[in-house]
Amino acid sequence: MKKVKCPYCGFFCIKYGKNHTRKQRWQCKSCFSVFVQSNDTTTYDLKCFLDWLFSKDTQKEMMGAGRNFRRKTNKFWEVWPMPPKIEQPQSILYVDGIYLARKVCILICCNDTYVLGWYVCRSENSRAWESLLSRIAAPTVVISDGGTGFRKAVQKVWPKTKLQRCVFHAFCQVRRYTTTRSKSLAGAELYGLARQLLQIKDRDEAIQWTRDLQSWHGKHKTFLDELTREPNGNLRSTHERLLKAEKSLINLIKSDTLFTYLRPFDFACPSTNNRIEGAINAQIRAMLRNHRGMSIERRIKAVFWWCYMHTKKPLSPKEILKVMPTDTSISNIYNTMNSRARLEKSIPTWGDAIVWGELHHSDPYPTHLWD
């Protein structure tokens, strides 16, 4: 039988009768305090909450249409599970952003096994990426789909890390401009070159592919240089979409981020970020789809809960509720910071405050007072 310990001193207790509600009382052998042991169902309630969140079950199918479930688990929607700080360097990391609404994006970073970090922002930009990457040790290679501002953030936070642009996303960008059934010969050939990116396995094939891209431009140079006069009299390129598709590939070649996976590393470097797209983003979208109808704030917290429970060592339920910030704690911090800022603004600035030296002199015979 598990022995009961005193909540005040931690010493073992003995039975000490029952109270008026017929619950067992206990007395400590050391401090002689008497108490009734309460059953803490927080762990069980949190487990039920997470099991529901990560499953396809609906509250309507629960007993009482889920009213009892919502009463017990409503407190968990106030918690913000925050990512841990990763200090151990990794070989390969995958990053991507998933949009929950028009101006709500969650940036996620993971390795081959666990989620390492996440950050909520309005859009993908360099400042948001810097906030995510600053809490994670610099890896050898990071694979990205080319999100806005990511390259700038990597150069600032992880200057020695090699960047690999996801080859499949590079192909999709070309396909967006050329379509799969281009009406021009140049568009069809460029689409074919983009598809060959998915099959390149060594440096020689990469060099040959780059030469083929240059040959394509020389072959269709006259066609690509055609201009069209707009109604206002300005000239613009007739085949602007083809030029944008070609430029997207040329920029990746010049930045040396298209064939990073072909370098001689001590590990096998993938060319795509399918790990984060299929194993994380797809499951998060499925979770939000199963529980559609949640507010945007709860959708954000649902993603936070999913990411945290898929980290390497998530805390126990009791420690999570004790350590993680809540809506109330964040609001108190904000109010404290805001009041402090208002107080600092009310203090007289330079030139307005009293100077102590004007009222007190260290020299008993100040010369500047002589006539």
Residue 297, SS3 per DSSP:
helix
Q: What is the pLDDT of residues 135-191, one digit of tens each?
A: 999 999 999 988 889 999 999 999 999 999 999 999 999 999 999 999 999 999 999
Q: What is the pLDDT of residues 23-74, one digit of tens each?
A: 888 888 888 888 887 777 788 889 999 999 999 988 888 888 889 999 989 9
How far, in Å, CA of 237 to CA of 260, rounded? 33
Token pair for 109: 């970073």
* Domain coordinates in residue numbering, the chain: 92-278
Pick the closest to residue 166 from 193, 197, 143 (CA basis). 143
The pTM of this model reads 0.80
354 bridge partner residues: none
Q: In what order do the strands lie in the sheet with 34-36?
A: 13-18, 24-28, 34-36
Is residue 214 within 8 Å of 193, Cβ to Cβ? Answer: no
- Sequence-ordered list of residues with C-beta below 8 angstroms from that of 236, at least 6 positions apart, any chain: 227, 228, 230
Q: What is the pLDDT of residues 276-317, one digit of tens each?
A: 998 999 999 999 999 999 999 999 999 999 999 999 999 988
Long-range contacts of 317-322 (CB under 8 A, 24+ apart): 317/42, 317/43, 317/46, 317/47, 318/40, 318/42, 318/43, 320/46, 320/79, 320/81, 321/42, 321/46, 321/79
End-to-end CA distance of the chain: 96
